[in-house]
Structure formats: C-alpha cells, structure tokens
Chain A
C-alpha cells in the first residue's frame, strides 16, 4: 500500500469512528480511545516525516495545486528553453551551440536526481524531468536541423527509451506518458519506412497505431508494477486512446484501412466495432475495478454513439427533436449505468 493511501485510510477511519460513537453503534472506553488516537497520531507523524504525506483535506487540496503547478511550470519552462534557443542560438559560434545542446539534458538529468534526493514528494523533480525530456528532444532535433542530417524516425524510439527510463527512475506518470507517446510515434513511423513511405505520414495506415495501442493495454498485465502502482493506468489510458482515436478516424475515412473491403463497408465496420469495443472496455473496467478504463471507455462509447446519431439524423430531423433525442439517449445511458452499479453492489 502507498503511504498516502494508508494516511487517507487512517483519516477516514477516525472520521467514521467519531460518527459511529455519535450514533452509539460503537463505544470505546476512554483508555482504548486514547490508545487508538495515540497510535493513529504516531503512525501519521511517521508517514509525514518519511514520505511527506497529506493528513488533512486542505493539505490534499494544496498538494493537488502543487502537482498542477509543477506540471504547468514544467511545460512553461520547456517553452522558455525552446524560445530562448530560437532567439539567441544563431548568434553563438557553432561549437558553443553543439556544447549547449549536448550538455543541457545531461545537466538537467543530474539536477533532477539532485532534487529527488532532497525532497520526498518530487514536485521539483517532476518539473525538472519534464524540462529534461524536452531538452533531450530539442537536443537531437536541433542538432539534426543545424547540420542538415537526414530525418529519422529512430529519434522517436530514443526519446521513448529516455522518457521511460526517467519515468521508472523517478516514478513520474507525465514523463512516462511522454515516453510512451514517442514509442507509439516510432512504431507508426518505422512501419511506414518499411513500406517505403515517408515516415511522417502518420495517417496513411491508422491500424498500426491501434495495434501498438493494444500492446500498451496488454503490457501492464504481463509486467508487474509492484513499486510503480500508478503506471499501469497510464499504459491503459494511452493504449485506449491509441486504439479508439484511429478507430474514429477509420469510421469516417475507410480508404486508409488494411481491411480488404470496400471503403464504405470499412467505415460501417469501424462504426459498429468502435461502439462494441468501447462497451467491452467498460465491462472489463467494471470487472477489474479499473476506473480509468471505465471512464475512457464511456467517453469513447458516447463519442461513437453521438457521431453516429449526428450522421443519421442531423440533416433531415428538426434540430429541437434531434437534441431531445440526444437528451433521451443520455438519460437511457444513465439508467443503464445505474443498473450496472446496482449489480456491482449486489456482486460485492
């Protein structure tokens, strides 16, 4: 169990105990209560000292704000680094340009490690890691552009490896997402190159991205994440996006598919397949208790459904009737989910 989860459980346990005593459902003797309170206080104090966990609701809110601020700050610093290079780099002698581009990611990696050793909650480390990843992307991209090297998709694989290594070292989900997105890009680009196409044409065959997305969804089931327990959700979320976004694309433009069928039939196939697959994702998410999978599956199910309804009804139906029907469909979906929740409650 993560330290923060333990602290949350203890906080909720204490609140519930107060409630039970007020309702006269449970009465502890003053000695028992004092002993329990002392134990909880001591455990929370130890967790706070070791892991800097939040022990109150207001602390949790502030921590959330700090997480958002560190992510936004990291992105802003990335923009600052890139714009600084764009503005001043042309005035520098070439050896200095090369030295800065090569050394900056190394220095930033060392800084992130230095910050990680001095803090337990990794806000500054997260910020520095995002900037490090961006600096490494800028490093290879600008060096290549500067010396007119042939563009290669393998840079995406290298960025992916770097992002994943940094993410597993520091335990940062945003950097893991950046690394996995780079890998998804590389899979598509590499298959394009093998087929003799220009590697940047990501929309030529969207099914390759779907296959890579499927691998991402399955991977956490094959790899155990005992230490990085939040990482499987990132794999599944990105995998599902990599499956459903190309599916949406193919449901509108079937000519880019590998399937040996007429383009119109391919579009029909993906319209049905998208809705069925997202419904299956919801079912699997409910069974496995994966909240992210349920939410993403629901979002894509709604998108597939509403895109179809717009396609079928928008042109010929009065607009007030169209929106009325959309509202009724939404109500029907709420009813279905309510029944599903009821069944889950019975099952548990």
Chain B
C-alpha cells in the first residue's frame, strides 16, 4: 500500500461521518409508538414548537 496513513485518515473521516448521519437519520425518523414525533431534530424547529 502506497499511502496507508492518508487512507487511514480518509477512512476515519468517512466512517465517523457515516455513523453521525445514520444517527441523525434514526433520530429524525422517530419511533413507531411515540406520540411526540421525532426524538430529536433541528434544535430551533423543536424550540419554536
């Protein structure tokens, strides 16, 4: 492998962002039995009601 450290840096970038975006997608979809919508979302939207 020619540039293992650069590859490692890019892998860390991609995986961490993928994980965060997955968490956001899960949170925004809400739970099926919840009556108050998504568990989280854009902060100002939730605060604005």
Contact = CB atoms under 8 A, between A and B. Distances in A.
A140 B20 contact: yes
Given A149-B27, A161-B12, A165-B12, A102 B17 contact: yes
Interface stretch (A67-75, A105-113, A244-252): A105-113
A78 B24 CA distance: 26
Contacts of A146: 42-43
Contact of A144 (B6, B9, B20, B28): B20
Contacts of A144: 20
A147 B12 contact: no
A143 to B, nearest CB: 5
Interface residues of A, number: 25
Nearest to B23: A149
A166 interface: yes
A94 interface: yes
Given A106-B13, A158-B16, A147 B42 contact: yes
A169 B6 contact: yes
Contacts of A165: 5-6, 8-9, 12
A168 interface: yes
A215 to B, nearest CB: 20
A281 B3 CA distance: 36
A106 B10 CA distance: 7
Contacts of A139: 17
B20 A149 contact: yes
Given A146-B42, A148-B40, A149-B27, A102 B8 contact: no
Interface in A128-144: 136, 139-140, 143-144
27 contacts: A98-B21, A105-B13, A106-B10, A106-B13, A109-B13, A113-B6, A136-B13, A139-B17, A140-B16, A140-B17, A143-B21, A143-B24, A145-B43, A147-B23, A147-B24, A147-B27, A147-B28, A147-B41, A147-B43, A149-B24, A149-B27, A149-B40, A158-B12, A158-B16, A162-B13, A162-B16, A169-B5
Given A106-B14, A146-B43, A148-B27, 12 more contacts: A106-B10, A109-B9, A143-B17, A146-B42, A147-B27, A147-B42, A147-B43, A148-B42, A149-B40, A162-B13, A165-B12, A166-B9
